[in-house]
């Protein structure tokens, strides 16, 4: 972000960060002292990336000042009731007199203190360095007004994020019910049959993947095809853009071609849920460790199958099948993958299920877009308000 120097408004001043707050480095907390379960006798423990766990109150690793109205943690934690521990990877900023804590929180974010990190192997923040950082300081009343305004954006973002989480839980539950036939689109009641890992309706089929799909092993012929990777959450992505660096071989002549509408998964990571259906481009290439397959669209709806294979139940099935495979490299090849059985409703019902789940997913995607817009607006407001370019009535 371009932060040009502006003439400060009347009443504002330039000062060092150390002049408005006390900065204190965190202390080492042994892993054995950290519990993942919150208990009354435990304090929350924070590191550079947020909450790490809970530490016993009788631990001898220093306890830092209260957070919230009394202090602010340099990072993404804003309000915590009671005392807390901070690890050696965190810096605690406690506001001095006439410094509003919530304004300080936003100012710490705006200052982007990470650029002052030192060290090569494990860069970290030095209290000595960041206390010398200059910032624009408004009068206390204006600090409070700025913090109140920016907090409204935080509240709006928080509400949307909580709504997204709630809808994602609903989607997960709905998907499980529909994809395995425990609930019908038309609310028709049917009796369920048992299989090894799940129950399915008696009017559905239970078939091996090999009956509706075949492996594709076309090798790369064109060097200009985009190299794709399959992520656990995002499906197929442009590998170079996604990772920000080249993680694939310079020689892609042995890579496999995958076309739009085809499936693929890295044979050594499928148990993590890394399986994708190519939809965002017409053609790409993937590493030789990938298994690529196509489905008979007269028997199966690709989107239905994709959503089915992305469920936690099938993630477990992949893990169990990989463990039982004779492949000692921990891979799930087509030979074993194709033997996995899936529940298969009539084709028109498959399309109805996929369409119903897509509607809910589109609603979630719109909410995520709105959240990103609010975050962008907040960043713009911080740029204007925290530099004094825009003023707030006190």
Question: Both 211 and 334 in a single domain?
Answer: yes
Question: Both 211 and 333 in a single domain?
Answer: yes
- Let me know if residue 4 belongs to a domain: no
**How many of the other CB atoms lie within 10 Å of CB of 52?**
20
- Let me know if residue 194 belongs to a domain: no
Q: Which residues contact 190 (CB under 8 A, 6 or more apart)?
A: 181, 184, 201, 202, 203
Residues 272 and 217: beta-carbon distance below 8 Å: no
Tokens of residue 286, six digits: 């993937």
Predicted structure pTM score: 0.78
Q: Which residues contact 182 (CB under 8 A, 6 or more apart)?
A: 176, 192, 199
- CATH code, domain carrying 383: 1.10.287.1120
Question: Both 211 and 331 in a single domain?
Answer: yes
Question: Both 291 and 336 in a single domain?
Answer: yes
Question: Both 20 and 35 in a single domain?
Answer: yes
Residues 107 and 144: beta-carbon distance below 8 Å: no
Per-residue pLDDT of the chain (394 residues; tens, 9 = 90+): 444 556 899 999 999 999 999 988 888 878 777 776 666 677 888 877 777 788 877 666 567 776 655 677 766 666 676 778 888 778 888 899 899 989 998 998 888 877 777 766 666 667 888 888 999 999 999 999 999 999 999 999 999 999 999 999 999 999 999 999 999 988 888 899 999 999 999 999 999 999 999 999 988 876 688 899 988 887 899 888 888 888 788 888 889 999 999 999 999 888 888 999 999 899 999 999 999 999 999 999 999 999 999 999 999 999 999 887 666 567 899 999 999 999 999 999 999 999 999 999 999 999 999 999 999 999 999 999 999 999 988 7
Question: Both 280 and 391 in a single domain?
Answer: no
Question: Both 27 and 132 in a single domain?
Answer: yes
Question: Both 216 and 295 in a single domain?
Answer: yes
- Let me know if residue 2 belongs to a domain: no
Which H or E run contains 155? helix 140-179
- CATH code, domain carrying 58: 3.90.220.20
What Cα–Cα distance (Å) separates residue 140 from each residue in 16, 153, 202, 325?
16, 21, 70, 66
Question: Both 277 and 369 in a single domain?
Answer: no
- Let me know if residue 304 belongs to a domain: yes
- Let me know if residue 188 belongs to a domain: no
Tokens of residue 118, six digits: 């030192």
For residue 23, what are the domain limits? 13-137
CB-side exposure of 193: number of CA atoms within 13 Å?
11
Question: Both 317 and 361 in a single domain?
Answer: no
Question: Both 66 and 105 in a single domain?
Answer: yes
- Interhelix angle 101-110/347-385, rounded to 10 degrees, is 100
- Let me know if residue 222 belongs to a domain: yes
Going by C-alpha positions, the residue among 64, 26, 62 that lies closest to residue 47 is 26
């Amino acid at each position: 972000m371009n932060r040009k120097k502006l003439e400060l408004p009347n009443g504002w001043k330039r000062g060092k960060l150390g002049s408005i707050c006390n900065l204190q480095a965190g202390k080492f907390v042994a892993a054995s002292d950290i519990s993942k379960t919150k208990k009354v006798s435990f304090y929350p423990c924070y590191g550079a990336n947020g909450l790490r766990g809970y530490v016993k109150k009788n631990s001898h690793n220093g306890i830092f000042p209260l957070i919230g109205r009394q202090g602010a943690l340099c990072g993404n934690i804003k309000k915590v009731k009671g005392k807390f521990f901070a690890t050696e990877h965190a810096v605690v900023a406690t506001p001095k007199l006439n410094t509003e804590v919530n304004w300080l929180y936003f100012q710490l974010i705006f200052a982007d203190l990470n650029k002052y990190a030192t060290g090569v192997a494990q860069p970290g923040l030095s209290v000595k360095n960041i206390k010398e950082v200059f910032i624009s300081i408004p009068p206390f009343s204006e600090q409070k007004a700025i913090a109140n305004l920016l907090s409204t954006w935080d509240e709006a973002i928080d509400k949307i994020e909580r709504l997204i989480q709630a809808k994602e839980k609903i989607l997960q539950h709905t998907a499980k019910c529909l994809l395995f036939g425990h609930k019908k689109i038309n609310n028709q009641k049917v009796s369920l049959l048992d299989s090894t890992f799940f129950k399915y309706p008696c009017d559905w089929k239970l078939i091996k993947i090999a009956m509706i799909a075949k492996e594709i092993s076309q090798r790369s012929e064109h060097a200009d095809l985009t190299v794709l990777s399959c992520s656990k959450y995002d499906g197929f992505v442009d590998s170079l853009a996604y990772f920000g660096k080249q993680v694939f071989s310079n020689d892609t002549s042995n890579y496999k071609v995958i076309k739009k509408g085809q499936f693929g998964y890295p044979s050594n990571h499928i148990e993590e849920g890394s399986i994708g259906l190519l939809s965002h481009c017409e053609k790409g290439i993937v590493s030789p460790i990938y298994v690529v397959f196509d489905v008979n669209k007269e028997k199966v709806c690709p989107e239905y199958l994709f959503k089915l294979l992305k469920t936690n139940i099938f993630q477990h099935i992949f893990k169990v099948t990989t463990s039982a495979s004779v492949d000692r490299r921990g891979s799930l090849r087509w030979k074993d993958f194709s033997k996995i059985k899936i529940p298969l409703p009539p084709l028109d019902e498959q399309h109805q299920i996929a369409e119903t789940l897509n509607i809910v997913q589109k609603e979630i995607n719109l909410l995520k877009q709105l959240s990103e817009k609010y975050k962008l607006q907040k960043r713009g407001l911080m740029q204007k308000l925290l530099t004094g370019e825009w003023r707030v009535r006190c």
